[in-house]
Structure 1
């Protein structure tokens, strides 16, 4: 199920440079988002307290939403290894065009473990769910039982963790430009990814699209998954 650390950064804790987080991730290998999850969340929250973590030039970028799907202009890779990726994501209030670029409102799971922290802005809202997936592929139009975990806002210093193949979320546009920093751990096996339609009158979700199972080992693999999700969502939009 999703894990949340509210205002995880202790006001008495010193801000942490991203290089220290990288040392932590390198030393723990796969345990960083496993048995050492709490420790990693605290360190990521401290990175979010470092006002010099992200160059001001990035936060002040003027991004053309029409080009986001082409060059992924709202995502910036901060560090990458063969096991994990640290990236910054700029989330913009919706004007209609950005909905497609950010997959706002679309319920989906992931084929990788994800930990993210709010850095600036009010943060996006997201509805959280989980199901007994364990990484298996579901069929289109299949109905699955879900657990509802409420609505959550990725405010500065707040940390969210989503497990591959079992946690679902549907993000909603923030009221102001917001920035998050996240850690993605590449899967050691091939995972499918799914889009869902959450049923409002029951604890059920219907699979609206099954994305091709793929291994995720780098940023390009992530981009391929994201672009496929956009295409699948567009194909299933009502006329």
Structure 2
């Protein structure tokens, strides 16, 4: 489950103080010391029980139009611009009896949608009893990412993100299925942004079957590549061939083969190449495509 921090931190800070301190740290989850210090600053901000209400009231009154943006779903509020590799956000978690939940449904707030993350982030319970989660772990490097693939999920526990609880969600390791809190709750996050994260998939899971259901992190680059190859450009085809041989993302390598299969005169040879690509994902799909051609 996410790494839990035991922080005896009673001091509080303002939002600008937290932003500047966290930007100076340049939060990186691979650095244990910097992560601990970032968790302390997040806890200090969480101890400030007035800053978020002030921001929301100013926004509702039209005094700070455009100064806070929503993203990552209807309940998320971005609290800072990207500074280095991090930004701050708040998340509002409605309970089942709240009007927003009744009007929009559970999945709007990602309740009951088991998933991992392709990024790491710190979180702390800011208000209320907190959403509950069934926590699991798995080994990202051991899966291809195909629908219905066995994920090797290991159940850890069910617990709530109560006020003051501070944790690090680890990219590609921690899986959780969130449940609504008993009453309206708010969490604060320090988000880590890695330029390479778009090349790594975020998965949804079927907890009953212990399998991957789908990819939750669509990548527009795949669509761009397919459109370019479909145009018939020789340069696009040469680029796609390079992607298929050398790209760091298995998903992009597969997209290269899929794109070229739409214009290739010899699909059997193309997918035979895919079978020997050295990528488990590509070779698995390539084998299926060749068998379909032979059927």
TM score, norm. by length of structure 2: 0.61
Relative to structure 1, the CA distance from residue 164 to residue 19 in structure 2 (aligned partners, 3 Å threshold; closer, same or farther) is same
CA contact 2:111–2:179 (8 Å) conserved in 1:
yes
Higher share of residues assigned strand: 1
Specify the structure having the higher radius of gyration (Cα). 2
- Is there any run of 5+ residues in structure 2 with no aligned partner, and where? 61-69, 221-295
Cα deviation 1:159-188 (Å, max 9, x = unaligned): 121111121111100111111111111123
- Correspondent of 1:28 among 21, 25, 32: 25
Report how far residue 55 of structure 1 moved: 2.6
What SS does structure 1 have at the residue aligned with 2:28?
helix
What SS does structure 1 have at the residue aligned with 2:164?
coil
CA contact 2:71–2:77 (8 Å) conserved in 1:
no
What SS does structure 2 have at the residue aligned with 1:145?
coil
1:205 maps to what in 2?
Answer: 210
Higher share of residues assigned helix: 2
Report how far residue 105 of structure 1 moved: 1.2
Task: Measure, in 2, the Cα distance between the counterparts of 1:109 and 1:207.
Answer: 11
Greater RCO, CA 8 A, separation 6+: 1
- Correspondent of 1:41 among 39, 42, 58: 39
**Alignment pair present for 1:176 and 2:178:** no
- Correspondent of 2:93 among 91, 94, 100: 91
Report how far residue 44 of structure 1 moved: 0.9
RMSD: 2.9
Cα deviation 1:123-143 (Å, max 9, x = unaligned): 110111111115975111000
Cα deviation 1:31-59 (Å, max 9, x = unaligned): 36632222221221111111222134638
- Correspondent of 1:132 among 136, 139, 142: 139
**Alignment pair present for 1:50 and 2:48:** yes
CA contact 1:130–1:166 (8 Å) conserved in 2:
yes
